[in-house]
Amino acid sequence: MRRSVTQGGPRRQALPDAIAARVLLLRDDAIVIDKPAGLAVHRGPRGGASLEDWLEPLRMGKRHLPQPVHRLDADTAGCLVLGRTKPALAALGRCFAEGRARKTYWAVVRGGPAEDAGRIDAPLRKVSTKAAGWRMEVHPEGQPAVTEWRVLGRAPGLAWIELRPATGRTHQLRVHAAASGWPILGDPVYGGGEGGGLHLLARAIELPVEPPLATEAPPPEHMRAALLACGWTLTPPG
């Protein structure tokens, strides 16, 4: 079965239902999708499913395939922006390169901070060993990395945190949370434990382009029980 998605006027292009259900925002210059957890943005050397499998269906009459403007970890769900034209790719890419993209993440963490808000300023570098592979770590010789955070809710042994990265280092939020003593739930690499999936959502994105681009993604199914325990509601008040 296919679903029609309207773009740029009366013309309609058919998308497979599974992909159409993931389109958060569609306009002539950009698409924002709700990337599912477990889907890599780029196909790795070992192959397997990736966002690249979605690009041809998402072309929808454009000359060029849409391309992601930024990256999300394979295990992170939520807002991913794709440019639909070469000028759009350049303009959207500049927003990220110049630090003008406003990114908001939700995480459920083990334990939680004593305070209700704060700022993490901890440089990160990549380390690798033959036995364990690569990972990121806080190190004074690493690249600058800054994350603003605030607590949105709490439950016994858990906290629901809003994270706003001012920089875009690999695994930044995962490492900053772990280094602060409250690793993200379901993160086996940085101390959040295995099982249940990584509880990290790219909740919202805002880009100061013309016209401005802004949208948000719903929590994935695997995060909902923990969020509900921390005070999130399926139907916001008002």
Active site residues: 73
**Residue type (1 letter), 195:** G
Euclidean distance between CA atoms 152 and 64, whole angstroms: 41
Q: How far apart are CA 153 and CA 151, in angstroms?
A: 6
Residue 71, class by beta-carbon neighbours within 10 Å (0-12 exposed, 13-18 middle, 19+ buried)?
middle
Dig out the tokens for 113 from the structure.
Answer: 């901070």
Length of the chain: 238
Q: Residues with Cβ < 8 Å from 94, sequence gap 6 or more? A: 100
